[in-house]
Amino acid sequence: MKRRSFLNWGTAGLVALWSAIGVSLGAVVRFLTPSVFYEPPQTFKIGDPADFSFGPPTFLAEEKIFVFRDREKGFAVASAVCTHLGCTVGYFQSDERFHCPCHGSVFSADGAVLHGPAPRPLEWFEVTLARDGQLRVDKDHAVPASYRLMV
Amino acid sequence: MDRRLPQFFFALSLIVLALMLAAVWQAGTPAWKNYQQEFHRLEAVGEPNAAAKSDVLNAALVIRQDLLPGLQRVDRCTTCHLGVEDPTMKNAPQPFAFHANLAPHVPAKFGCTVCHGGQGLATDKLNAHGRVPFWQEPLLPKEYIRASCGRCHKEGEVPGVPELTDGRRLFETQGCRGCHKLNGVGGTIGPDLTEEGAIRRFPQWLEQHFLDPNIVSRNSPMPNFHFTKEQARALTFYMLSLTSEQMGTYYSSVRLIPSAGYGRQLFVEKNCIACHNVGGVGSKSGPDLSGVTKQHSPGWLDEQLVNPQLIYPGSIMPAYDLETNARKAIITFMASATAEDAQSILSQRTRPLTPQDAAIEAGKQSFARFGCVGCHGLQLQGGVPNPNSQGGEVPSLLHASDDYTKEEVTKIIQNGKVPPVENPAKPAAPLYMPPWKGVLADEDINRIADYLWSLQKKKDAW
Amino acid sequence: MNPIRDAWQSIFRRDPLSTDKGKSELVFLNVWLHIHPAKVKKENLKVKHTFYLGFITFFLFLILVTTGVALMFYYRPHPPQAYQDMKDLQFVVYLGSFLRNMHRWAAHGMVICVFLHMCRVFYTGSYKRPRQFNWVIGVVLFLLTLGLSFTGYLLPWDQLAFWAITVGTNIGSYAPLVGGRIRELLLGGHTVGESALLRFYVLHVALLPALATLLTMVHFWRVRKDGGLSRPVWKLKEEKAAQLVSIGGPDTNGPLAAVPASKDKTYGLMEVVTGKPIFETVSMEEEEDAVFSYPYAFFREGVALLVTVATVMAVSIFWQAPLEELANPAKTPNPAKAPWYFLGLQELVSHSALLGGVVVPALAVLALIAIPYINLTPSRRLADRKWAIRAFTLFVVVNVVLIIVGTFFRGPGWAFVPPWVHIAGGE
């Protein structure tokens, strides 16, 4: 067996092998990426639009969101999770601002940081109307603070 | 050396690469992805504009699951059954069809398998429908699905499922317990049926068994009861409902169906007629409840039941500790309650209604709410140890009228009382009657006294 | 000087592979490969000599460790989540069922291959002096393999797992004096439950693999120190065979043959000591039969690895590992069978618990361990060892027959039911 053809077959074999290894590495990463989450879902329904009052936002504790309803413009959903280190902020009707109890961050009514260590404004989530007439919030889709859903 | 070795090596490497790609292909093309793509196509048909259409067509293909820790299951049915909550999919082909009358049993809170059976963890059709070996809960045939209502709704009637009530009645009246144990009571000739609904979810077998036990269970000692088809079906429904479902608190709290029947039951239990009347029949102390659901919203009525003093600060209506569905049931009953209902409730009382009943009822609720029961007992029996007091324990109040007048008792409640000491050398008794003046209004104290007096036992009364 | 080349050469310090020095350095400068000799005897590379069974067993072990670690990311050793995780692996995890299948089929393969490897070593007489103790280590590795398979069997927590382990631990409890205590230690309780699952899990993923790895290291090391793989016996002429076993043996007082140093070879001297070498030396002409490990041995080992991997992958794509219903302590399947490699044992136990379950297996293991020390003849040729061959073959055949009977011929109640007879009814 000539050395060159030995090397050619051998090299070709190694190429195939390294390709298989490459595919395997990709497969490993995909394997480790979870396909389902044992957590509350990121997209969920919050109920009928009629159940939500105008004026101060409705706080949903389990989902950690505020649901705003404006007579003219409609629905908006803000995250209640402070962008600093993750504590749950509270909304105060008296000054129409969000206050975080942990390190004192203050956010305006549209989520902008007014003072405190928070680096980013509060997130707003996409809210849409599902086919059965319920409001659906999608935490995987962030929207600008001006987003509104008119119902 | 082997001449063909490098070629062999090359061929094997190719084979390994091919197998790797085959495995990856197998893992990457599950059937549910095709179903989701088809559903997106269906959805896109209804989308008005091109941008929305392309959004829908390019939506991510993901496994959807309903995590139900309270029901100890995980259901992934909505991965393929995507139109279940979408009314526009009424005429779509399965698995995309809309599920009518779903509320309040929405998938996010209840999943699917608790009613339909099947294997919620699976993501392919054959395994998910559970018609595979080693899965004991296959999809229930259509006609038996309503039997699943009985898995949670174990008390009372279930609207729309008379078979459950019939089945239960047949079970009790045909002597089944003679051979079969249920919830610890019964004979041991046949198998224990307490978990029958969990271990044998094969309705056709069950129904055959009731029609003729020997067909499905050869040499069975169970006699042929010659049940009719309807009876066999009712019993099958009942069997399918026999499980000891472990449910989280949310499910236990909403288990009771808020039907008018249940509401009437609660109305009697809580003695509402002691203060209220319906169309004039009943007590005149509180308002007439007829038509109350037309005058007030359900939310208002619910609030009234939760916290009567919030809406009417001076109200003597006690705050009953009722679950959500119990309150709903009472309100449902209110919507249809008539004077005839009130009359029938009155006639079922063991003793007639008196004008004092309202006060006595309010007094009873105060007695419980302010902690009197802690020392004096729910049945006023006393008995809580109180060392070094005369008698050694908190006294029973059932014979208070022998030693005191009603006014004296009222004074004791207002001013309190330290019990006389048995042995002055020893430390004072730890328990004493605290003064309630200022805490309880005088009217409340009077009503408590009324309540106590309604329960007095005379020494010679038997 | 080129800094990149310097950096590269700081990592890979050997000479190019085109040179002999480079080929040697690839082996003895590399931590992963240096268990090999720089040169191997040509004839030891023949497939028909060893069938590469040792390597295949080792490669299967590597496959098991890799797939096992992958599976650990999704498996919780606590009932009933364990069963749910098995379902998740099957239905939800990308490549989950493929990896689980690979793990299970490789496990069965490893049990079979370690047994075949033991047979091969026996039939080629490769356990004889100076390799006796390596045989004993091999027997221990065989038992560890069975232990790994047994502990892993419980982890899916289905009916198959639960009852197989119930039966298996009950067989073990028949050992006199210590049987009950061993069962208690294994189960962490009186019956198979949470504690058993956790203990089996720890044994399966940590303790037993660690022991197996350590002993495998010793096993490979001893192969090297014993002079490499044994020579294929049929190659040796009669007198060479005699010469082979007498040179260097402690009971011979013959002088060592002095051999002139070759001008074409480089010799390394580790240390100068007096005394006789313990392993067999070879003659000069046989020395010329040696070829560099790279590429000859490595490519062949690579092929063996690829064949192993390809076979396990192919089987895993087409055949699903079983998963029955959730373990139910209240419902015993009829019959309840131990894992297949213990079915021979269960068959014996069905005739007599103490004799069949404890005495006979214990004697069998002791006999296996004693094989190298029952030295009726120093010869390794088949013709010279007829009785040994017959005895061992009988042992193998009896084992296989017992396992076949236990698998196919035992039905409900452990009644003898040939597989071609259909049993009506049942669960």
Bridge partner list, B292: none
Q: Is B62 an interface residue toward A (CB < 8 Å)?
A: yes
B26 pLDDT higher than 90: yes
B2 or C298, which is more confident?
A: C298
Separation in Å, CA of C88 to nearest CA in chain A: 9
C425 pLDDT higher than 50: no
Contacts of B89 in chain A (CB under 8 A): 131
Q: Is the dihedral of CA C390, C394, C395, C396 positive or negative?
A: positive
For residue A5, the chain B residue with the least C-alpha distance is B6
Contacts of C302 in chain B (CB under 8 A): 9
For residue A34, the chain C residue with the least C-alpha distance is C93
User: For the ranges B270-279, B364-373, C356-365, which has the lowest average pLDDT?
Assistant: B364-373
pLDDT tens sequence across B329-350: 999 999 998 888 888 988 888 8
pLDDT band at B193 (very low <50, low <70, confident <90, very high): very high
pLDDT band at C272 (very low <50, low <70, confident <90, very high): low
C9 or A13, which is more confident?
A: C9
Length of chain B: 462
| Mean pLDDT, rounded, for B161-189 | 91
DSSP state of C15: P
pLDDT band at B233 (very low <50, low <70, confident <90, very high): very high
Q: CA B197, CA A100: separation in Å to the nearest integer?
A: 50
Q: Do residue C92 and residue A31 have CB atoms under 8 angstroms apart? A: no
Residues in contact with B288: Cβ distance below 8 Å, sequence separation at least 6, in sequence order: B276, B277, B278, B279, B280
Cβ atoms of B207 and B143 within 8 Å: the answer is: no
Measure CB to CB from residue C94 to each of A10, A17, A30 and give the nearest one.
Answer: A30
Q: CA C338, CA C349: separation in Å to the nearest integer?
A: 11
- Beta strands B181-182 and B185-186: pairing type? antiparallel
First and final CA of chain A: distance in angstroms?
79
% of chain B surpassing 90 pLDDT: 36
For residue A15, the chain B residue with the least C-alpha distance is B13
Measure CB to CB from residue B19 to each of C84, C313, C324 and give the nearest one.
Answer: C313
pLDDT band at C246 (very low <50, low <70, confident <90, very high): very low
Q: Do residue B12 and residue A13 have CB atoms under 8 angstroms apart? A: yes
Separation in Å, CA of B36 to nearest CA in chain A: 15
Bridge partner list, A79: A65
Which of 3-22 (B) contact A at CB < 8 A? 3, 6-7, 9-10, 12-14, 16-17, 20-21
Residues in contact with C306: Cβ distance below 8 Å, sequence separation at least 6, in sequence order: A17, B9, B12, B13, B15, B16
pLDDT tens sequence across C77-93: 999 899 999 999 999 99
Tokens of C393: 């073959």
Cβ atoms of B454 and B356 within 8 Å: the answer is: yes
Q: Is B86 an interface residue toward A (CB < 8 Å)?
A: yes
Which chains sit next to C, with 3 or more Cβ pairs under 8 A? Answer: A, B
Q: Do residue A10 and residue C299 have CB atoms under 8 angstroms apart? A: yes
DSSP state of A135: E
Measure CB to CB from residue B9 to each of C96, C159, C302 and give the nearest one.
Answer: C302
Measure CB to CB from residue A27 to each of C88, C95, C299 and give the nearest one.
Answer: C95
Beta strands in A62-112 (DSSP E): 65-70, 74-79, 90-92, 97-99, 106-107
Q: CA B255, CA B262: separation in Å to the nearest integer?
A: 12
Measure CB to CB from residue C94 to each of A10, A17, A35 and give the nearest one.
Answer: A35
Which of 11-70 (C) contact A at CB < 8 A? 70
Which of 105-124 (A) contact B at CB < 8 A? none
Q: Do residue B7 and residue A35 have CB atoms under 8 angstroms apart? A: no
pLDDT tens sequence across C147-199: 999 999 999 999 999 999 998 898 888 888 888 899 999 999 999 999 999 99
pLDDT band at B260 (very low <50, low <70, confident <90, very high): confident
pLDDT band at B271 (very low <50, low <70, confident <90, very high): confident
HEC secondary structure over B165-192: HHHHHHHHHCCHHHCCEECCEECCCCCC
B417 pLDDT higher than 80: yes
Tokens of C374: 């029952």
DSSP state of B101: T
pLDDT band at B2 (very low <50, low <70, confident <90, very high): low
Tokens of B86: 């979408």
pLDDT band at C256 (very low <50, low <70, confident <90, very high): low
Contacts of A19 in chain C (CB under 8 A): none
Nearest to C168 by CA among C364, C324, C400, C336: C336
Q: CA B161, CA B238: separation in Å to the nearest integer?
A: 10
Separation in Å, CA of A37 to nearest CA in chain C: 11
- What is the pLDDT, as a whole number, of residue C426? 39
Cβ atoms of C80 and C326 within 8 Å: the answer is: yes
Segments in B190-338 forming alpha helices (H): 196-199, 203-211, 213-216, 229-240, 249-254, 260-269, 292-295, 298-306, 308-311, 324-336
Residues in contact with C93: Cβ distance below 8 Å, sequence separation at least 6, in sequence order: A31, A35, C74
3-state secondary structure of B72: coil
In order, the DSSP letters of C189-252 are: SSSSSHHHHHHHHHIIIIIHHHHHHHHHHHHHHHHHHTTSSPPPGGGS-HHHHHHHHHTT-TT-
Measure CB to CB from residue C93 to each of A17, A28, A35 and give the nearest one.
Answer: A35
- What is the pLDDT, as a whole number, of residue C249? 46
Residues of B with CB under 8 A from a CB of C: 1, 5-6, 8-9, 12-13, 15-16, 19-20, 22-24, 26-28, 63, 74, 76, 119, 121-124, 127, 133-136, 218
B301 pLDDT higher than 60: yes
User: For the ranges B310-319, C3-12, C387-396, which has the lowest average pLDDT?
Assistant: B310-319
Separation in Å, CA of B134 to nearest CA in chain C: 5
Nearest to B39 by CA among B109, B116, B96, B118: B96
Report residues of chain A scoring pLDDT below 50: none
Q: Do residue A130 and residue B1 have CB atoms under 8 angstroms apart? A: no
Q: CA A120, CA B444: separation in Å to the nearest integer?
A: 56
Is the model's pTM score more than 0.90? no
Separation in Å, CA of C98 to nearest CA in chain B: 7
Tokens of C137: 């280590």
- What is the pLDDT, as a whole number, of residue A119? 95
pLDDT band at B459 (very low <50, low <70, confident <90, very high): low
Distances, alpha carbon B166 to alpha carbons B75, B235, B261, C170, in Å: 31, 8, 17, 48
| Mean pLDDT, rounded, for B361-389 | 84
Q: CA C241, CA C229: separation in Å to the nearest integer?
A: 15
Residues in contact with C227: Cβ distance below 8 Å, sequence separation at least 6, in sequence order: C130, C279, C280, C282
Contacts of B133 in chain C (CB under 8 A): 324
Q: CA A136, CA A126: separation in Å to the nearest integer?
A: 8
- What is the pLDDT, as a whole number, of residue C238? 60
Q: Do residue B15 and residue C98 have CB atoms under 8 angstroms apart? A: no
Q: CA A134, CA A43: separation in Å to the nearest integer?
A: 13
Q: What's the one-letter identity of residue B292?
A: V
Q: CA C84, CA A6: separation in Å to the nearest integer?
A: 50
% of chain B surpassing 70 pLDDT: 98
Which chains sit next to B, with 3 or more Cβ pairs under 8 A? Answer: A, C
pLDDT tens sequence across A64-84: 999 999 888 899 999 999 999
C146 pLDDT higher than 80: yes
